[in-house]
Chains A and B, each alone.
Chain A
Amino acid sequence: MTVALAVPDVIVARAQAGDEAALEALYRAFETPVYNLVRRILRRPEDAEDVLQETFLEVVRNIKQFRGEGYLWGWIRRIATTKALMRIRREQVRETESLDEEPGKPGMHVGANLDLERAFDRLSETSRAVVWLHDVEGYTHEEIADQMGKTVSFSKSQLARAHARLRRMLDEGAQA
């Protein structure tokens, strides 16, 4: 999903002045792109909803600091991405991540008619984040590494592994 949203400057100015109607207008303009982004990264819908809420709380609290350098969507997207990645890190502390690194795990059989979306859903959250940010949102490996607190090599190898995994799952799905 490519987002090409332009919000009138007057709405931004009013939101910066604390006007609630303008803040809500911003929320309505960006709720779907933000939710879509974080939902593609995070496995659980309820986590994505929480991140959506956290993102907009930060947006309304800090909109005054948005100076109009770059697109508003770029600024909001960065907040959303940071929060989604933070949630992944928190989850990783609690549990060892990644379904795609445990192909033998029960319930992981990839059946017939598997499409790309379902295959993508089966990737680990880290892999999903790298694939989505790089391939769909257009982030560079440097930007991903920076946001994830990892190296550029990590981002590149995650992307390659994720695509190899997607390809295998799609092949298996086609053969089943």
Chain B
Amino acid sequence: MMHCTMEDLGAVRAGEGSVWARRHITTCAACRGELEALFQRVAQLKALPALHPPRDRWPAIQATLRAERSRRRRTWGTWTGSLALAATIAAVLLVQPPRGEQGKLHAELNQAKQQSATLEDSLQQYDVDGRVLSGHAAALVADLEDRISMLDGTLAQQEHVTHGGDAALVKLWQERVGLMRELVNARATRARYVGL
């Protein structure tokens, strides 16, 4: 007499057994017993006690996380430093501003860069690492920092292809000023510690 294979039994357990296997199990006590044992094994596996990690791995994860954040912050600082320098250079170059529409754009660009640099300085007053933020404030700050980083990337590309006076560039710098202002406000008005 042909019996069910383990694959047949597994399929029956999953409700996908062949007609033959399902019919066979109703008539064969041995295969019925095997199927029952399979059900029991699975139930026993599910009931095995949880294994706990022998050591606390959080300190290692935390250390890596902090190192990565510190690296990112340094990179971001370099970026913003470069942008501040760009603003200073632009200010020097604009001693003799061009005339007309182009001149107006130059002036607006210069103003936005200077505002951005000033806000950058204001931000230095706040201890970026040490202050504990509420969940909402932390989310806001993280979001603003992300948006500024992305904008800085766009600006870096734009600076290479344009030589000032471009309306799009002015708009980007003004957008940066807006975000920087929000970031300074978020940092300044923040936050109290909310415990878990």
Contact = CB atoms under 8 A, between A and B. Distances in A.
B23 interface: no
Interface in B152-196: 195-196
A20 B62 contact: yes
For the residues of A in contact with B, the DSSP-based class is helix
A60 B65 contact: yes
B19 interface: no
Contact of A19 (B38, B46, B61, B138): B138
Contact of A25 (B6, B38, B196): B196
Contacts of A20: 62, 65
Contact of B10 (A13, A33, A160): A160
B57 interface: yes
A136 B61 contact: no
A49 B10 contact: no
A1 B10 contact: no
A53 B10 contact: no
B42 interface: yes
A80 interface: no
Contacts of B41: 116, 163, 166-167, 170
B37 A167 contact: yes
Contacts of A44: none
For the residues of B in contact with A, the DSSP-based class is helix
A10 to B, nearest CB: 6
Nearest to B42: A135
Contacts of A159: 10
Q: Categorize the interface residue count of chain A.
A: 35 or more
A132 B41 CA distance: 12
B41 to A, nearest CB: 6
Interface stretch (A35-43, A84-92, A143-151): A35-43
A163 B6 contact: yes
A109 interface: no
A13 B53 contact: no
Given A32-B50, A116-B44, A17 B57 contact: no
Interface in B39-73: 41-42, 44-46, 48-55, 57-58, 60-62, 64-65, 68-69
B55 A49 contact: yes
Interface of B: 5-7, 9-11, 34, 37-38, 41-42, 44-46, 48-55, 57-58, 60-62, 64-65, 68-69, 133, 135, 138-139, 141-142, 195-196
Interface of A: 1-2, 10-11, 13-14, 16-25, 27-28, 31-33, 35-36, 39-40, 45, 48-49, 52-53, 56-57, 60-61, 116-117, 120, 131-132, 135-136, 156-157, 159-161, 163-164, 166-167, 170
Given A28-B58, A49-B54, A57-B65, 8 more contacts: A16-B142, A27-B58, A32-B50, A36-B52, A39-B51, A40-B48, A56-B58, A136-B46
15 contacts: A16-B139, A17-B139, A17-B142, A18-B138, A20-B65, A23-B65, A24-B62, A27-B58, A40-B51, A49-B57, A53-B61, A116-B48, A131-B45, A160-B9, A163-B41
